Each structure stands twice: as structure tokens, then as C-alpha cells.
Amino acid sequence: MLIFGVDFSSAPRPRKPITCAVCALSGGVLRLQRIEALTDFAAFEAFLARPGPWVAGFDFPFGQPVSLIRALRWGASWAEMVARVGTLSRDEFLAALQAYRDARPPGDKHPLRRTDALAGARSPLMVHRVPVGRMFWAGAPRLLAAGVSVIPCHPTGDRRIALEAYPALVARRWIGKRPYKSDSPARQTPAQRDARRDLLAGLRERCDDLYGVALDLPGDLAETLLNDGSGDRLDALLCAVQAAWASGQAGYGVPPDADPLEGWIVDPATAGA
């Protein structure tokens, strides 16, 4: 089974591509085969069109809080909501989020989805610093257009399975909240490199215990992950670990009562919610 982990960017370019970890899952072993750099959205759309079966974990929110969707009247289904978002320019989308935030009381400008609260993730309304709102605007309409099966938002029966991942949730299991990447790789610190080394060691030693799959990480690729100060390649692998775990779970590890408008981050930590 092909497993992909995708570290997403809302503005892919050669210096900051969408990063894809290409893995094979067989006999309970997840083997990292290569890392791909998708430098523009045309390359990302071509990636989504690759024939299945495959399961991929994407590091961006698939949905928005129900309160926002209802307030903005964006639709009653995920497909309707995302199709509406797809008609908006980036500035129109950002303006809609700002208007919604302006109408909310102080201290509650960035509401969370249920899955964000469980995973300790950022609000999908955030558009600065960690611009997950921009990622939603750029990513979700492309998933819809590609016809992939988006779990639990828009299952189509297609053999290309898209799951929402959150690599920080994997990293915390081994290194807590120690920083392991830098916005400017040239300014990475020895402590960040040490954190990546510890995280890779933990994955190699105990991935099977926590995620039900053993990790086969060739030495040359391990060095690539260790030396990447941006952490993008490592994050892509962490997304693949979550996707591999989910591929063996009933309902891909998503609780039956998960709201398809909001989406769900797949991980053992959120599965029993």
C-alpha cells in the first residue's frame, strides 16, 4: 500500500515547496522510499491525480468550525462549503474570516474545531504566523476538485484516501514541545538539530508501540531529515506515520460522531474521543 505524508504550503515555490514523503506499507512496516518537492500547485494537483490505492495524510485543516460555516452561510455540506470557498479570491476569503472574528467577543476570536481542541492544534481561522487558514483556502478546494475520498468530510468511494494529519502531535510523543525546526533553516540551532535526532531515534525505536507500524528509515534519508533545518521533510514523514496508522483502523480512526463539516485529525490521541 502506498502511503503519502504531505507537508503543505499555501504558496509553494522552489524555496518552500509542498513536501511529500513517499512510503510503502507492507507487513506492518512503513518504509520511507523518497522525499518529493512539489514546487507549484500544478505539481500538487498532478500528485492528487496519481492512481490509487493510496492513503495520504495532509498537514492542513480540511474544514472550519461549524459556528463560522453557519454564520457565513457557506453551505450545509462539506462539498458545498468548500465549493463556495473555491469561488473566493484569497483577499475575499481573508476578509470573510476577519469579519467573522470582528463579530466575536474578545478572547474568542479564533474558535477551535472539536478535533483541534483534542489535538492541541491551532484554530483554522489563523492566517498569520502559522497560516493554517490560508492553507485551508488553498488546499481543500483542490481536494474536492481532484475527486479523492476526503475522510470524514466527503467520502466518495475513490481509492485515493485523503486524511487530515498534524505532525506536531506525533513529535510531542517523543520530544514534548521542544522546537525542532526553524522558519529560517540557516539560523537553526544545535538544540533544534538535537531535537530532530531524538525524534528520529524515537520513531525508529517505538513507532510500532505507539502507531502500530514499524518504521524502516534508510540511512541516507535519515540524514536528509536530520539536516533539514526547516523540518518540512520530517513533518512529511510524521504525516505519513499518522496516515499509516489510520489505514489500519476502522473508519480510519475517525469517531463516528465527527462532524464532516469540520474534519478530523487522525491520531491515536484523538481516536477515542
* Rounded Cα–Cα distance for residues 273 and 118 (Å): 8
Q: Read off the pLDDT of residues 129-182 as tens digits, 9 standing for 90 and up.
A: 889 999 999 999 999 999 999 999 999 999 999 999 999 999 999 999 999 998
pLDDT digits (tens, 9 = 90+) for 105-129: 888 889 999 999 999 999 999 998 8
Question: Strand 149-150 to strand 54-58: parallel, antiparallel, or no bridges (unpaired)?
Answer: unpaired
pLDDT at 272 over 90: no
* Whole-number pLDDT of residue 248: 97
Question: Global pTM?
Answer: 0.96
Residue spans of the domains in the chain: they are 2-61+163-247
CA distance 121 to 143: 21
Q: How far is CA 254 from CA 61, 81, 130, 267, 272, in A?
A: 15, 21, 25, 9, 8
Model confidence pLDDT, tens digit, residues 34-72:
999 999 999 999 999 999 999 999 999 999 999 999 999
Say whether pLDDT at 185 is over 80: no
pLDDT value at residue 7? 98
Handedness of CA 166, 154, 100, 131 (dihedral sign): positive
pLDDT, residue 273, reads 61
Could you please report the per-residue DSSP string of 209-268? HHHSSEEE--HHHHHHHHH-TT-HHHHHHHHHHHHHHHHTSGGGG--TT--TTT--B-SH
189-214 residues labelled b (16+ CB within 10 A) or e (exposed): eeebbebbeebbebbeeebeebbbbb
Which cell numbers in the block locate residue 45? 494537483
Closest CA to 162 of 239, 85, 82: 239
In the chain, % helix, strand, coil (3-state, to 5) comes to 45, 15, 40
Q: Per residue in 68-98, pLDDT tens?
A: 999 999 999 999 999 999 999 999 999 999 9
Q: What is the pLDDT of residues 193-230, one digit of tens each?
A: 999 999 999 999 999 999 999 999 999 999 999 999 99
Q: How far apart are CA 257 and CA 173, in angstroms?
A: 26
The one-letter amino acid at 233: R
